[in-house]
Amino acid sequence: MLDKFSKQLDPYAISAFIIPLFIYLLTLAPSVTFFDSGEFITAVSCLGSPHSPGYPLFVNYAKPFTWLPFGSVAFRVNFATAVSGALACFGVYLLTRWLLRGEESASGNNPVLGRLTAVCAALAFTCTPRLWLQSNHDKPYPLVAFLVATTLYLVFRWRESYDAGAERPSYIYAAAFIAGLSTGAHQTVVLMIPAYAFLILTKDWRIIFRVRDFIIAFTCGLLGFAINLHLPIRATKMPLLNWGNAQTKDQFLWHFLRRGYPTEQVDRDLSLLWSQINAFSVPFEFTAAGMFLMIVGMIAIFMRRKAEVISYFIALTCFLLVIVGYFNTPAETIFLTEEFFTPIYLFSAVFIGVGIFFLASRLLNLGILQRVTPGVLKFNVALLMFSLPAVICAKNYIKNDQHLNYIAYDYGSNVIRSAPQGAVLYTWGDSGAFPLWYIQGVERMREDLDIVHTPHLVFDWYLDAFPRVFTNSVLRRLPLDSISPENALLYAAGEQYPSRPIVVDYSTRYSVPFREYRFLQRGVVYQLVADNAQMKTSPDLSVWDIYAIRGFMGNEMFFRDLDTGKAILIYANSRIEGAETLIAENRLGEGIENLRIAAMIAPEVAPEVAQVLARFGVR
């Protein structure tokens, strides 16, 4: 029986999963990273709710991986994402093989060619910068892509059964369930629904009048959508991370419909519109050669697979209309919308695979006619086929290699280490807060601190999460929707200052006008000191000695993203700021040493270092 089972295994399909997984594990982030990472990991750990819309499917998918007996919780969640990324690549293999059904025999080539081209398509998708960066640390988008591939595959199977006269509506029921379930990974997946509907209705538009089938499919979709009930159910348990506290209907809708985000629209000119559109770029992801192969694949298969090709453009149009047209994202955050197009890139990779197949089959036939040695011919064609994924991999490997990326973890732990015992620590910015949430909440470091995210001080649900700090706070008596986060922090600090140390991180220091306070610098954080307090505010240099700084002092880590670069600059600028105070206090040697370290941490701050030296007349 085992021998029979092994013979049924498709080694090409297995490789379409194993090779991407190997690549992602090779470049996997070892711990928490910046942006949403710490928040997602904390939510997975406690089965809570991250930022809107809550991502309940991703949270429940990744939770079992936290039980693995190796690595930190952050590493295990990153591992879960790598698995979902490899599954998305397997989805490309599956869909490519399906679209090539019958094409191998029609072209007179061995079926192995179809399997090889499907593997090529999967590997090309594997190494695209977008999917790669999503798959080597915690992100829900690879899971979204896999679910889209599964839904498309089920619809394709239904279309075939319909053509064969043995229609199997169970495929549609299963597709409806997966589509509903997908909303628990990310809501943009609903933009695929018009493409699904087109693939179904082009077989027989009268199918919409099948009331029984429609009701069953709709019910299956609702059952899948029910994963979102995780939000109110878990909210009643008050998990460690309980964004929105969605216990009531109003709070659930506020959270699920993303009503907590700014709704201001920016003025859009042609330059901004073009930048928004370029958030989707097949040539950037797959190179110009990949774009060419995708067009070849679409043309080659169009006469036999019109609906599949047209459904691609329907899906792309829906994504562009909503993500570009409706969202109207400001220029500085356009990069965040690039992730939403992952399902379209998966669909693109499938047609790239089709294009590779048709070019390879033509080359093989041409070689046979010219009596080229079969072994040499097949080797050269295979080499040419795999050149696209090899080029994409070589192009993106270094900038996506995160296996030494400890910067977010070290930055977060350094911030926490800097605070005095029992302090209230205020943060600003997602990357300034989320690593700290994970390090304190999951790894249980410095539980004596209350780490408060300043932008959330204007939400009652957030104040509820800090009963020790805000139960009797003046903020409870103020209309929070009419005050700014900056003023909320000043109110809170004013009432907490007499009893507890108040510490702010670097970003908060420069985002809030602390007019009634001076700052005692403690590394990359600042303790508030009242103007009338008889207390010196010389920098506390001892804090630097307890910092962990991996990944950039010796240039051993290549990976850089926007907030990683910002964290490095915070270290350098904090050194410069401390040096200014030290030189002003005639502690020249210590000041110059801090300036030297600042220039070593971030060479781009050399002009600022020179300005400080010139201002104090130091050579």
CATH number, domain at 417? 3.40.50
- Both 220 and 113 in one domain: the answer is yes
* Residue 340 maps to a domain: yes
Tell me if 448 sits within 8 A of 45, measured CB to CB. Answer: no
Q: Residue 242 has what DSSP assignment?
A: B
Residues β-bridged to residue 452: 426
More confident: 384 or 175 = 175
* Residue 13 maps to a domain: no
Closest listed residue to residue 38, CA positions, set 227, 234, 241: 241
Position of tokens 């829900």? 140
Q: Is the pLDDT of residue 301 over 60?
A: yes
**List of residues 6+ apart from 178 with CB closer than 8 A:** 147, 150, 151, 154, 224
More confident: 586 or 86 = 86
Q: Residue 515 has what DSSP assignment?
A: T
Give the pLDDT confidence score for residue 482 in this predicted structure.
85
> Measured between alpha carbons, how far is residue 414 from residues 418, 524, 546, 603 in Å?
6, 8, 8, 22
More confident: 427 or 617 = 427
Query: What one-character-per-residue DSSP string does 7-55 give?
Result: HH--HHHHHHHHHHHHHHHHT--SS--TTTHHHHHHHHHHT-B-STT--
Lowest mean pLDDT among 245-259, 302-316, 532-546, 600-614: 532-546
Last residue of a domain, one of 369, 400, 431: 400
pLDDT band at 471 (very low <50, low <70, confident <90, very high): confident
Average pLDDT, the chain: 89
Q: Is the pLDDT of residue 169 over 50?
A: yes
> Measured between alpha carbons, how far is residue 126 from residues 130, 259, 317, 339, 345 in Å?
9, 34, 24, 15, 11
Maximum Cα interatomic distance, the chain, rounded to a whole number of Å: 94
378: left (phi over 0), alpha (psi -120 to 50) or beta: alpha
Q: Where are the beta strands (DSSP E) in 119-168?
A: none
Q: Is the pLDDT of residue 383 over 90?
A: no
Lowest mean pLDDT among 157-166, 306-315, 372-381: 372-381
Query: What one-character-per-residue DSSP string does 299-335 give?
Result: HHHHTT-HHHHHHHHHHHHHHIIIIIIIT---GGGHH
- Both 498 and 520 in one domain: the answer is yes
* Residue 571 maps to a domain: yes
Q: Is 530 helix (H, G, I), strand (E, B) or coil?
A: strand
Range of the domain at 92: 19-400
- Both 187 and 84 in one domain: the answer is yes
pLDDT tens, residue by residue, 559-614: 777 888 899 999 999 999 998 888 888 888 888 899 999 988 888 889 998 888 88
pLDDT tens, residue by residue, 22-57: 999 999 999 999 988 999 999 999 999 999 899 999
- Both 108 and 241 in one domain: the answer is yes
pLDDT band at 363 (very low <50, low <70, confident <90, very high): confident
* Residue 384 maps to a domain: yes
Give the pLDDT confidence score for residue 231 in this predicted structure.
94
- Give the separation between CA 579 and CA 292, rounded to whole angstroms: 55
Exposure string (b/e) for 137-158, b if CB count within 10 Å is 16 or more? bbbbbbbbbbbbbbbbbbbbbb
Task: Answer whether 0.85 is exceeded by the pTM.
Answer: yes
Give the pLDDT confidence score for residue 5 in this predicted structure.
45
Adjacency order of strands within the sheet including 450-453: 450-453, 424-427, 502-505, 525-530, 517-522
Q: Is 373 helix (H, G, I), strand (E, B) or coil?
A: coil
| Percent of residues, the chain, with pLDDT higher than 70 | 94
Give the pLDDT confidence score for residue 612 in this predicted structure.
85
Position of tokens 């950037």? 284
- Both 230 and 369 in one domain: the answer is yes
* Residue 552 maps to a domain: no
Two structure tokens written together for 339: 């992730």
- Give the separation between CA 235 and CA 242, rounded to whole angstroms: 6
Q: Is the pLDDT of residue 374 over 70?
A: no
* Residue 9 maps to a domain: no
Instruction: Determine the Cα angle at 124 with ends 159 and 336, to 5°.
Output: 90
Exposure string (b/e) for 451-463, b if CB count within 10 Å is 16 or more? bbbbbbbbbebbb
- Both 499 and 363 in one domain: the answer is no
Q: Is 452 helix (H, G, I), strand (E, B) or coil?
A: strand
- Give the separation between CA 367 and CA 378, rounded to whole angstroms: 9
Tell me if 539 sits within 8 A of 386, measured CB to CB. Answer: no
* Residue 1 maps to a domain: no
- Both 590 and 444 in one domain: the answer is no
More confident: 83 or 384 = 83
Last residue of a domain, one of 400, 427, 458: 400
> Measured between alpha carbons, how far is residue 279 from residues 74, 284, 487, 507 in Å?
29, 10, 36, 28
Stretch 431-439: mean pLDDT: 93
Q: Is the pLDDT of residue 450 over 60?
A: yes
pLDDT tens, residue by residue, 193-222: 999 999 999 988 888 888 898 999 999 999
- Both 59 and 180 in one domain: the answer is yes
* Residue 81 maps to a domain: yes
> Measured between alpha carbons, how far is residue 64 from residues 73, 78, 284, 612 in Å?
11, 12, 35, 53
Q: Residue 482 has what DSSP assignment?
A: G
Q: Is the pLDDT of residue 93 over 70?
A: yes
Domains of the chain: total? 3
Give the pLDDT confidence score for residue 1 in this predicted structure.
47
- Both 314 and 217 in one domain: the answer is yes
- Both 387 and 506 in one domain: the answer is no
Stretch 232-256: mean pLDDT: 91
- Give the separation between CA 595 and CA 613, rounded to whole angstroms: 9
Q: CB-hemisphere CA count at 13 Å for 554?
A: 5
- Both 495 and 521 in one domain: the answer is yes
- Both 343 and 258 in one domain: the answer is yes
Count of CB atoms within 10 A of residue 549's CB?
16
Two structure tokens written together for 68: 């693995």
Last residue of a domain, one of 352, 370, 400: 400
